[in-house]
Every structure is written in structure tokens, then in C-alpha cells.
Amino acid sequence: MTHQRQGGTAIRVLLADDQELIRYGLRLVLEAEPDIVVVGEAGDGDEALRAANRLSPDVVLMDVRMPGMGGIEATALITATHPATRVLVLTTYDRDDFAFGALEAGAAGFLLKNTPPAELVAAVRTVVAGDAVVSPRVTARLIEVAVPHLSDGDRRVGEQELSVLSDREREVFVLVGRGLTNSEIARALYLSESTVKAHFGRILAKLGVPNRVQAVIRAYELGVVGPGA
């Protein structure tokens, strides 16, 4: 099969997981798609970093817990040295503490290891397009770890931050915090996707956050959405 996405070459994916069976399953799912090709595999963080340096993949599917260098450290190093490479972290509910560290390391989002194949494929395409995968199922639990530690001073600063957003920007920000993609927000607010992208770009600039994942965290920190959203 020739792998090529519309308007360009195939999406190049690197698999990093210490379980060969999981890598095999991921490869089967991804390479069934005409626009995705798996260019390499790694069994730990060190191998993932070396492979990323050699292959410059578009996306790395990164397990969190691996022998030697783990997924969090590898994510930080890869995103620092390969800013065009997106890292999707593979996680489970029972080790959210590890996954939360990957947020700060620059991960573009999270997937559960039991993610349905269609969602896995959609996630890969989403991050390549410049968006982030912020599953409400995962993010809500992760935020519970961080938000309770905010001080009253943090929350007062947060209220001041929100005052710089327009009413429409606040609406978009709430939906971003709930894990909606730009296309879903566009449908919800009856806007074009390009208009949503423009609003979101201004939100990032005004709040001083670098990406969508951090914007979701900020939404929880500022109280515009809660863990049950």
C-alpha cells in the first residue's frame, strides 16, 4: 500500500512502548490507513529519543512507564529538540500522576491504551493538523491532581486574567476546557472553524499559555470548567 495524505506525504509515526504486542497492535491499526506509515519502534525512552533524532517523525505514540528512560523524560527531550514532532502519551487511569507530568513535558495530548482504533487514527491526524487531543475522560482526572493545590492568591490572579477575554473568547475558552476540538466548537457556536482558530490564538496570547493542553489546565485552574464538565 502506498501511504500518502492529501496534499503531501504520509504521516510518519514512531511507536514507543516496552510491550511488543502493543506496538504490533498499534502498527496494524495505523498502517491500515492510506495516509499513515509507522517509520520506527522503540522499547524505551532512550530508543525513542534516538529514533526521533534519526527519523524526525510527525507523531510519537509514547508509553509513560518503560524501563530505563521513561516516557515523560523522553517526551520532554523530544519536544525540546524536535518542535515539529507531536507526542501523544499512552496512559491508563491508575497512573494519572505519571501522565500529568507529561503535560508539562510538552505532550500534545493523551490516549488511553484501550482507545478504539478510530479514535487513535483521528488523534494522530488531529495533532498533525496542529490541534491537540485533550480527552475529557483523561483530563478531568488529571486536573483533580493540580487544581486543589491552587492558593487564594492564584485564584485572584485568575480572575484578573479572565477579565482580558472578550465574551466570545470566554465562550470559546469554556469549550476548549471541556475538551472540544476547533471544529466541534465551531458547530456549537455557529462559527467558522477559521474564526474559532483566530479566537483561540488570541486566548493563548492573552493568557500566556503555549498550547491547547496548557489552555485546558488553565481553564480548570481559573474555574471556568470543573472536573465533571
Average pLDDT over residues 203-229: 76
**Cβ proximity of 147 and 220 under 8 Å:** yes
Q: Is 179 left (phi over 0), alpha (psi -120 to 50) or beta?
A: left
**CA 225 to mean position of chain CA atoms:** 18
Comparison of pLDDT for 174 and 97, the residue scoring more: 174
Neighbours of 136 (CB within 10 A): 16
Higher pLDDT, 151 or 18: 18
In CATH, 151-221 is 3.40.50.920: no
Q: Give pLDDT, residue 158.
A: 58
Q: Which pLDDT score is estimated for 229?
A: 46
pLDDT at res. 139:
60
Four-way CATH pick for 11-133: 3.30.300.20, 3.40.50.300, 3.40.50.2300, 3.40.50.880:
3.40.50.2300
Pick the range with the lowest mean pLDDT from 11-20, 26-35, 149-158: 149-158
Q: C-alpha cell of 166?
A: 472578550
pLDDT band at 16 (very low <50, low <70, confident <90, very high): very high
Between CA 107 and CA 68 the distance in angstroms is: 19
Q: Which sign does the torsion angle of CA 45, 46, 49, 51 carry?
A: negative
Q: Residue 88 — left, alpha, or beta (φ > 0 → left; ψ -120 to 50 → alpha)?
A: beta
Look-up of cell digits 504521516? 11
Neighbour order of strands in the sheet with 11-16? 36-42, 11-16, 59-63, 86-91, 109-112
Task: Tell me how far apart the alpha carbons of residues 160 and 119 are, in angstroms, rounded to a whole number.
Answer: 37
Sorted by where each begins, the domain ranges of the chain are 11-133, 151-221
For the segment 126-184, what is each residue's pLDDT rounded down to a tens digit?
Answer: 888 776 676 655 566 656 655 555 555 554 555 677 888 999 999 999 998 887 878 88
